[in-house]
Structure 1
Amino acid sequence: MSLRVLLFGTQFPPSAAGTASYTHALATGLSASGAQVRVLTQAPPSLTGPAPLPSDVAIPQTVTDDDIDVQWIPYTTSAVRRYVRCRAALVQEIARFQPHCLWTTNGMGTRVAGLVSKLGAPRWPTISCVRGTDISSRLPGRTPARWLESVFHRRCYARSSAIAVVSRALCDVAVAKGLSAQRLFVSPPAFDLRKSASARAQAVRSPTTILTVARLQRQKRIDVLLRAMALVRQRHDAARLIVVGEGPQRDRLERMTFELHIDEHVDFVGSIEPRSAALYEQYERAGIFALPSVREGLGNVFIEAGAFGLPAIGCDDGGTPEVVVDGKTGLLVPPDDQHALAEALDRLLADAELRQQLGTQAHSHVEDHFSIESLGQASFEMVQRVVAGKDTVADVQPAAVPG
């Protein structure tokens, strides 16, 4: 009898969020390892449509994506209705699917699962997932409402059989925030290397093209990258920056390019669908990947860059060093240091042999530590463990990344 695992959260492709990519990779890996997997998630507005629904009770619609069984919860912008619909859908899906294990993939999924359990649903083994913002800004919450939410959130984590954390760095944060170290295990994002195998062999790279992929918000520090780019342009006239992504800072960042006189050398191409041929083409063409973000749980885009053999530049902060290993798969710089970032870019732009060496090692690093196969097998073993009633997992490090 195969183990039935229900993955529950509020983000799944076509969402570009890191949680969506993680959930897709987790579902793919668990299925490949022999589990029967179903995903219960909130539908994007484009799938649900703008028309009002006849009921606040979610009636999920079954669709198939890459052979993954997905149940969509109708979308709503109302936080209250979102909780109502997600709770109703989860109760319904547990009764219908009867999972051996529930795996929540983001903070809201964890809270809704805790709410269902509080309301008297049968107890089942639960694995909760900790992403960066789930604990960095929500434990405790910064407003009265968020603070009350965080109290319940802690209780949900305390009731979990195990807690999946995306990086070792985030494990330290989780323990400092009061989560039980005995229940934490590392479960990082992963990449399907079959998607990049042929592309890497055929890629025609532009050695002077620098690529960044990010939501355009303050945490990603694209403004620091633009200032570094202005410095780099003084020494490398052919250098060009491609910015993939949308976000609240786009207008400000575009204005910055004019102020820094680099507007003709920076292209904002907007959002590109995750795991699409169009996005992979950007990785294939670039010579360097750079993202000076801070407080990253890990950084899916660094894994994607490594999968395509790109040397990466990131900040020595959060979980980034677990993917960007300084001097091995890329270069690390201090946070918010445009001069150090410019020097790192200058170093890679000027040294083709170093770019090739770091890019090759980056691909090997992803293959060894962030493949779908390693995530799936380790996750399947963890599900077996919690279903067997073994709550303490501190001695287990599935899909562990180098310390």
Structure 2
Amino acid sequence: MTRVAVTTGPVRIPPTYFVVNHLLHMPDVDGRLFALSAEVDDPAVAPLVETSTPYGVPGLRGSAAAFAAVRRQRRAVRDFAPDLVHQHFGTWSLAGSGAARDLGVPFVATLHGYDVFRRSDAVRDFWTWVTARNLRTCGERATTLLAVSGWLAGEAVRRGYPAEKIEVHYQGVDTDFFTPAGPDGTEARPATGDQLLDVPVPRDSVRDDLPEVLFLGALERRKGVADALAASVDLARSVPHRLRVVGAGSQEALVRAAVAEHPHITLEGMRDRAGVRDAMRRADVFVLPTQQDGEWREAAGLVTLEAQACGVPAVVYASGGAPEMLDDGTTGTLVPERDTRALAGAVGEILRLDPTARRHLSQAARDFTVAHRSIASSAAELSERYASLTRRPRTESP
């Protein structure tokens, strides 16, 4: 059995399950998460997590504590004596990479986006210097760098990460948890393979006969909530529907103004993981109008996969790595970035489909996610990578 130390910086679980998801789906791996600081509210995950400093201490005191905790985190990983260290995010990577070097074991790092965009930042002060040092050292020491999309892999090379080390590894979503809802609110749960059983589950409210479009995510410019609102208002003139907005963020006032003016729009606030799944199961179409915001673009977009795993077709802007999370024309539609008319048109085309065509589209969305973007397949691929790397002779620590 391969012994793996997963390392990361400050983390909250939920929502950041992806740092432990693979460990939960790899029975052949003895793994533990070593976080610089952590707040874990899920009792199923808590035993896997070790933290080096309290989470969420504000201001300079918290920053100083985090910086001092790097040595404790490095020592904890070293004491665990793993066969391999896997870092999530190139930021706060000195403890993980240092422990791997101490032990002479492979060091794998997954790049998620922020750690790529920050790579080309100018050093302006102490903390930008610390970030730059973490990112540079991560690239230098990594045996393998895993990018969460092909687009991000290209960006990483463009911004200075070594091309010969970069491979694409899609993170995947839990297709045993994110499952479709059947008629009258029944849940389709996988039994063996992807065979479906109908098990009654409650819905959070009773829907009327209007089809539902779902925006779920941060209410921020970069996630495109304003574009979702504009497209829905445009579409409502020809295709009656409801737009449900689930999330919170700096553009909440904009959404509330739209709700006040347009009765077909509702704002439902934040949801926990089960609430996210319930919201997706009620939807007929999921929209993600994610778009460039300064240096930032969507590196992947797991929420698109979660929706499709629930059998919901997606309409997504062709921005960053987001297009890699669906099969254009088969499980949903890609439209040009910031083109709200095209967004409205694509959503309208799906809502106008007859019931048989809608069912085929829903099944295709589910099938694509299970076959190509599930956490099970992602974990199996990662387990093979671990095995391959740990079969190599260990390097001598300096």
After TM superposition, give the deviation of residue 209 of structure 1 in Å: 0.7
CA 169–158 in structure 1, closer or farther in 2 if over 3 Å, else same: same
Q: Which secondary structure state, in structure 2, belongs to the residue aligned with residue 108 of structure 1?
A: coil
One of 338, 341, 355 as aligned partner of 1:339? 341
Q: Paired residue for 2:195?
A: none
Q: Is structure 2 residue 331 aligned with structure 1 residue 329?
A: yes
Richer in strand (by share):
2
One of 366, 370, 387 as aligned partner of 1:363? 366
Distance 1:68 1:311 in 2: 36
Q: Is the 8 A contact 1:291 1:314 kept in 2?
A: yes
Please identify, of 316-325 and 70-79, the stretch whose mean Cα deviation from structure 2 is larger: 70-79
Distance 1:267 1:186 in 2: 38
Q: Which secondary structure state, in structure 1, belongs to the residue aligned with residue 218 of structure 2?
A: coil
Q: Which secondary structure state, in structure 1, belongs to the residue aligned with residue 268 of structure 2?
A: strand
Q: Is the 8 A contact 1:104 1:127 kept in 2?
A: yes
Q: Paired residue for 2:30?
A: 36
One of 124, 139, 145 as aligned partner of 2:119? 139
One of 69, 72, 75 as aligned partner of 1:92? 75
Q: Which residues of 2 match residues 3-402 of structure 1 at below 5 A?
A: 3-10=2-9, 12=11, 14-16=13-15, 20-29=16-25, 31-32=26-27, 34-41=28-35, 65=44, 69-73=48-52, 74-75=54-55, 76-77=57-58, 78-85=62-69, 87-114=70-97, 116=98, 121-136=102-117, 138-141=118-121, 144-145=124-125, 147-148=128-129, 149-197=131-179, 199-200=181-182, 202=186, 208-237=211-240, 239-258=241-260, 261-262=261-262, 264-274=263-273, 276=274, 278-294=275-291, 295-352=297-354, 353-389=356-392
Which one-letter code corresponds to 2:135 in the other structure? H
Q: Deviations over 1:288-324 (max 9, x none)?
A: 1111002211101011011101000001121111112
Which one-letter code corresponds to 1:37 in the other structure? G
CA 110–194 in structure 1, closer or farther in 2 if over 3 Å, else same: same
Distance 1:246 1:133 in 2: 21
- Segments of 5+ residues of structure 1 without an aligned counterpart are 48-62, 392-403
Q: TM-score, normalised by structure 2?
A: 0.82
Q: Deviations over 1:149-180 (max 9, x none)?
A: 32541232121011111011111111111222
Q: Which secondary structure state, in structure 2, belongs to the residue aligned with residue 144 of structure 1?
A: coil
Distance 1:177 1:110 in 2: 18
Q: Deviations over 1:123-150 (max 9, x none)?
A: 43210110112112x0112561365332
Q: Which secondary structure state, in structure 2, belongs to the residue aligned with residue 158 of structure 1?
A: helix
Q: Is the 8 A contact 2:6 2:31 kept in 1?
A: yes
Distance 2:116 2:29 in 1: 29
Distance 1:39 1:342 in 2: 43
Which one-letter code corresponds to 2:21 in the other structure? A
After TM superposition, give the deviation of residue 184 of structure 1 in Å: 1.3
After TM superposition, give the deviation of residue 256 of structure 1 in Å: 4.2
Please identify, of 2-11 and 348-357, the stretch whose mean Cα deviation from structure 2 is larger: 348-357
CA 177–88 in structure 1, closer or farther in 2 if over 3 Å, else same: same
Q: TM-score, normalised by structure 1?
A: 0.81
After TM superposition, give the deviation of residue 355 of structure 1 in Å: 3.0
- Segments of 5+ residues of structure 2 without an aligned counterpart are 188-202, 292-296
Q: Percent identity over the alignment? A: 23
Q: Which secondary structure state, in structure 1, belongs to the residue aligned with residue 4 of structure 2?
A: strand
After TM superposition, give the deviation of residue 41 of structure 1 in Å: 2.4
Q: Which secondary structure state, in structure 2, belongs to the residue aligned with residue 139 of structure 1?
A: helix
Q: Is the 8 A contact 2:51 2:73 kept in 1?
A: no
Distance 1:143 1:255 in 2: 40
Which one-letter code corresponds to 1:283 in the other structure? M
- RMSD of aligned residue pairs (Cα, Å): 2.7
After TM superposition, give the deviation of residue 384 of structure 1 in Å: 1.8
Q: Is the 8 A contact 1:25 1:190 kept in 2?
A: no
Q: Is the 8 A contact 1:6 1:38 kept in 2?
A: yes
Distance 2:321 2:86 in 1: 22
Q: Relative contact order (C-alpha < 8 Å, sep 6+): which is higher?
A: 1
Q: Is the 8 A contact 1:226 1:257 kept in 2?
A: no
Distance 2:305 2:214 in 1: 14
Distance 1:312 1:329 in 2: 7
Q: Is the 8 A contact 2:180 2:281 kept in 1?
A: no
Distance 2:393 2:148 in 1: 21
CA 349–143 in structure 1, closer or farther in 2 if over 3 Å, else same: farther
CA 338–375 in structure 1, closer or farther in 2 if over 3 Å, else same: same
Q: Is the 8 A contact 2:299 2:322 kept in 1?
A: yes
After TM superposition, give the deviation of residue 97 of structure 1 in Å: 1.4
Distance 1:200 1:5 in 2: 39
Q: Is the 8 A contact 1:292 1:336 kept in 2?
A: yes
CA 152–190 in structure 1, closer or farther in 2 if over 3 Å, else same: closer
Between the two proteins, the alignment pairs up a number of residues equal to 360
CA 325–129 in structure 1, closer or farther in 2 if over 3 Å, else same: same
Please identify, of 305-314 and 381-390, the stretch whose mean Cα deviation from structure 2 is larger: 381-390
CA 44–125 in structure 1, closer or farther in 2 if over 3 Å, else same: closer
